[in-house]
A and B are shown apart, each in its own frame.
Chain A
């Protein structure tokens, strides 16, 4: 059995108590400092949010009171700017934020870009994009010399797409990191039509998931100028490209010549027939009716369901569905027509 004298025990307890006391004091001081920093940030917001509001509305001219004095006030300013950028914005507010940030926040983010901490660099890049700090593009380019993470490369491309389209194209076409389709779409959603045109010019040289992302973006943009490109993609050998193109054309909502779509009604791939069941809805019922009736007897449940839903959306769709129920020998088609009529999915 180990024997410890009372003296040693008491000394040990005192030592540990003193240590605990120091830890408590240290934590209290740290907490106090954090609270003070938070208060500084909050008091900047409280004192200046109305001034910023009035400045953005041209009710007052710029005042030096708005310039933050330290990094905590900058954090407060970031919150104010982000609210305007994400929730309330117009060209005038964007220009004011851009001008102010390029003038008064440039040095702060420049320093952060050079930081050894990954999170500091990432935050700086996010803010450069949010606050349109184009004067830091060259500092961002200098980052290339470093061993950058995929996330940083992604943000760098975002910065180039906003401020330097030539560099964007060069870097995008020589990417060594593979991004997910979601990330490609995020990158491409904000690019100018000039960049998009350039990417369409070299479409065949791009990897498949980039090609698919570009087609999806063309659908999101809903610009009929891209219709002829999308229609040319209907002959593409890759199934995914063809299906995505049909989807994008559906989003644009124009069928220029039904004949080039006819093969998809009899396609062996059910997704293509499904997209046709959707796409035919952009034509008048007099033109699309027969094809939709055919798709209503399709072997795939999804195609039948979509065809019935599309018919149901027409003004005379209900009449046609009732007629199909009475006349068809295909019980699956009649069931689907009945289902749509019951749900009244119009």
Chain B
């Protein structure tokens, strides 16, 4: 069931196809959330191969049946709308999805047609082509998306049935700044951690890194008060203000989810670890730890930020 905007401007799900104006409005809402939620949306444009071969009545029936079929396969959070060209064509905007999910969506359609799973597919020998546009930026207009999607869809149709063409134009994400803080008393260890983090390959991010000798110096700075996503790597024992005190203070802040907190310890006490996890630590590192393991965990954090 797809969402639509009714006359009074409110949203409801009614199973109807959305018109382009409504889709544009909803698309603008979805794309504005792409950066904030760090989740891509993807548009897939689907057209019937050789649709000119059908009579008008057949074409109307096919359009209605395919629409019904597509409506039954999309999620409540996806948008389905008809395309004016080329021939019998539809657009689907898959929220919280990437190219891979869109490709799987099209492959499912292929499998259903091949298995002749519905009366429609038994009656008509249909084949489709598609173009897929992943959107990782909010700097894209609905018109530009439609235009690029259409052009690639034409390419796909020309190449043959069940072809997928990709639109790479809107994929590139805006570089996001992430703050990293290292709280460690030992100069050499601090330097090693800093060198290790600075050497990590980053895709779509740039790092602002600062080091602190203790928790007090960190809490006295206004460095942690920005709205940036912030990774904090700290020792549990620190002079003046220890790791647990810093953890407690950070987790009391509004919007504290922006902090990913690594705690390092040499005490190897499970009780302490349980307590720290309960208080909001995201990763625990028992010293001595393998620097490559630490880097793998950091990379995983960066990967997880964009889903």
Contact = CB atoms under 8 A, between A and B. Distances in A.
Interface in B238-260: none
Which of A45, A83, A89 has the most chain B CB atoms closer than 10 A to its own CB? A83
Contacts of B294: 88
Contact of B290 (A49, A79, A88): A88
Contacts of A90: 290-292
Interface in B188-219: 188-189, 191-192, 195-196
A87 B191 contact: no
Contacts of B192: 49, 53, 83-84, 87-88
A85 B188 contact: no
Contacts, number: 45
Nearest to A88: B291
Nearest to B292: A90
B295 to A, nearest CB: 10
A307 B196 CA distance: 49
A80 B186 CA distance: 10
B290 A86 contact: no
Given A45-B187, A83-B186, 12 more contacts: A49-B191, A53-B192, A53-B195, A57-B291, A83-B188, A83-B192, A85-B288, A87-B266, A87-B287, A88-B290, A89-B288, A89-B289
Contact of A87 (B187, B189, B195, B292): B189
23 contacts: A49-B188, A49-B191, A49-B192, A50-B195, A53-B192, A53-B196, A57-B291, A83-B188, A84-B288, A85-B288, A87-B189, A87-B266, A87-B287, A88-B189, A88-B192, A88-B287, A88-B289, A88-B290, A88-B294, A89-B288, A89-B289, A89-B290, A90-B290
Nearest to B294: A88
Interface in A76-121: 79-80, 83-90
Contacts of A88: 189, 192, 287-291, 294
Which of A45, A50, A87, A89 has the most chain B CB atoms closer than 10 A to its own CB? A87
A86 B191 contact: no
B48 to A, nearest CB: 56
Interface in A229-287: none
B233 to A, nearest CB: 12
A88 B191 CA distance: 12
Interface string A172-198: 000000000000000000000000000
